[in-house]
Chain A
Amino acid sequence: MLIEYIIPRMDFSAAGKASTDMKRRLTQLGLPVALIKRIAIAMYEAEMNVAIHGDGGKAEVEILEDCISTRFTDKGPGIADIELAMQEGFSTASEEIRNMGFGAGMGLPNMKRNADELIIQSEPGRGTTVIMRFKLQTGEL
């Protein structure tokens, strides 16, 4: 099953809808609560990044037999130094974004902490793709 969400740029009313919708869907599927929380948190951070930094984009979630695979793509400015961006507290968010409660520099670290696998593909000027996978134990789905 493939589910796709459009993530509008800088729309703080809509941002977070993909992850909260997915949290509800996964709850209906009966997955373990701790796993659902990890997925929802990681997706939320990725979703906010696409909305805030990526000029908007999309999220695709695939529910497979052995894992839940998520892919976030945007055509934003890209990440110049991924290693630096991964550091807790590092953020390029504007003052305006910080005033809204974001830009703590915890987004990517939160994703890494919660996903079983995190792949970031990015080049300045060519957008960013973030893939996160969450393993499922046999019989969980």
Chain B
Amino acid sequence: MRASAIAHVLNAEVITCQELADDLEIITACGSDMMSDVIAFVKDRVALLTGLTNPQVIRTAELMDIRLIIFVRGKKPSSEMIQMAKEQSIMLMSTQDSMFIACGKLYQAGIMGDIAYQAR
């Protein structure tokens, strides 16, 4: 699913890298506030849904080659995070939906997540 479609499904505000929205293809998603879990289990072309807003979220995304981060519950990243994300071409979005609802909507829209959360 394209990032632009994800923004539509979640009625999300795109904060950075709007220009990537039609090209960025997301295969699956991971919803977590624990960055070490994200690091342990995430595979490629994943969207990260999180309620956490600190610079480590962007660092984790950079390490894991995550290109899309969706902040839930209307949370907004700091200007430092926005700057870091722009430098790394990481798309940031914010939705008013809770984690549960946002994950549910994406699942219903066809992102099944079967390859994202898989212990090695």
A contact residues vs B (CB 8 Å cutoff) = 12-13, 15-16, 19-20, 23, 37, 40-41, 44-45, 48, 100-107, 109-110, 113
Is the CB–CB distance between A101 and B62 below 8 Å? no
27 A/B residue pairs, CB under 8 Å, sorted by A: A12-B54, A13-B55, A15-B56, A15-B59, A16-B59, A19-B59, A20-B62, A23-B62, A23-B63, A37-B65, A40-B63, A44-B39, A44-B63, A45-B36, A100-B52, A101-B33, A101-B35, A101-B56, A102-B36, A104-B36, A104-B40, A106-B34, A106-B36, A106-B40, A107-B36, A110-B39, A110-B40
Q: Is the interface of A mostly helix, strand, loop or mixed?
A: helix
Interface residues of B in 19-53 (CB under 8 A from A): 33-37, 39-40, 50, 52
CB distance from B116 to the nearest CB of A (A): 15
Interface size on B, residues (CB 8 A): 21
CB distance from B96 to the nearest CB of A (A): 21
B contact residues vs A (CB 8 Å cutoff) = 33-37, 39-40, 50, 52, 54-57, 59-60, 62-65, 80, 120
The CA of A13 and the CA of B34, in the complex, are separated in Å by: 17
The CA of A80 and the CA of B62, in the complex, are separated in Å by: 33
